[in-house]
Structure 1
Amino acid sequence: MKSFILAAGLALTASIASADGIVSYTTDDSFEDVVFGLENAILDQGLVIDGTSHVGDMLERTKADVGSDVTIFTHADVYSFCSANLSRKVMEADPMNIRFCPYDIFVAQLPDDDGETIIGYRTFPEGPMQEVQALLDTIARSAIGME
């Protein structure tokens, strides 16, 4: 499904996918621009980035060590963060919601995707965790100019 958004006088195109427990958006924006947008979108929510996992770099660095010659990602990072207010709310509803904290959003480029960048997150179960999923969706969409 294609969504066409008019922002700052420029037409942006993003495709949306939701399958296998993942919601993702694909954009023609560069990896660096999406990462910049994501960092700002997280901060704009009053949240702090706890860590960044450079998954793509790790997989590329270790591919020969594990007997592979396949480059999986051109770039791939996972940003982790948490919301004290929202985490408290969902864990008061069910302490075992701790398993979802911190929250993660990934940004990736595949070698054969003509420079498209993917941003996404895993889905959460029905109930209180849907509020977290809504937050992640807001952040991901904001990062690529869809909010």
Structure 2
Amino acid sequence: MKRTVLAGVLAFVAGAGSAQEMVTYTSSESFGDVSFAIENAIIGKGLVVDHVSHVGEMLERTRGDVGSDVVLFEEADVYSFCSATVSREVMEADPMNIVYCPYDIFVATRADNPGEVIVGYRQFPEGPMQAVQQMLDEIVNEAIGE
């Protein structure tokens, strides 16, 4: 398993669309195994997965509709969830930290590198939001056996 930080991949929709860094890990396990482990690690922390966004399926399904022939992912899902405890902590520090909720972890296999599963999440600013980043890192590390 390898951890990297990539710049400029995620961007906020609001404001000027400033780029944000993310934390990624890689695994040689199957997409299905890693996805299952992520979901179990989230649930194991007493949290509820609010939504699983099947981004890879959507991009593939709409590829022709938008005039593209580029296959981006073999598979890609985003798990969205929240933590009442951690969310209250960070929002009591600054109610506008609501912008970061819910929290997301993605699992993806890129079409150009089918043997590697990438798991990651956005980095959060210094200060109170580091509690969220720590929680996400714990979930990912538990899931991929780090």
TM-score under structure 1 normalisation?
0.89
User: Offset at 1:112?
Assistant: 2.2
RMSD: 0.7
Question: What residue in structure 1 maps to residue 62 of structure 2?
Answer: 62
Post-superposition shift, 1:114? 3.8
Report runs of 4+ in structure 1 exceeding 4 Å deviation. Answer: none
Pick the aligned partner of 2:3 from 1, 11, 16: 16
Q: How does 1:12-51 map to 2 (within 5 A)?
A: 14-20=1-7, 21-51=21-51
Q: How does 1:79-98 map to 2 (within 5 A)?
A: 79-98=79-98
Per-residue Cα deviation, 1:12-43 (whole angstroms, up to 9, x for no partner): xx111112111000110100000010011001
The gaps in structure 2 that reach 5 residues or longer are 8-20
- Give the percent of matched residue pairs that are identical in Structure 1 and Structure 2: 62
Answer yes or no: is the 8 Å Cα contact 2:74–2:114 preserved in 1. no
The aligned amino acid for 1:40 is N
Give the aligned partner of residue 125 of structure 2: 125
Which amino acid in the other structure matches residue 137 of structure 1? D
In 2: Cα distance, 1:101 partner to 1:112 partner: 31
For structure 1, the residue ranges without an aligned partner over 5 or more in a row are 1-13
Q: More displaced, 113-122 or 30-39?
A: 113-122
Letter in 1 for 2:89: K
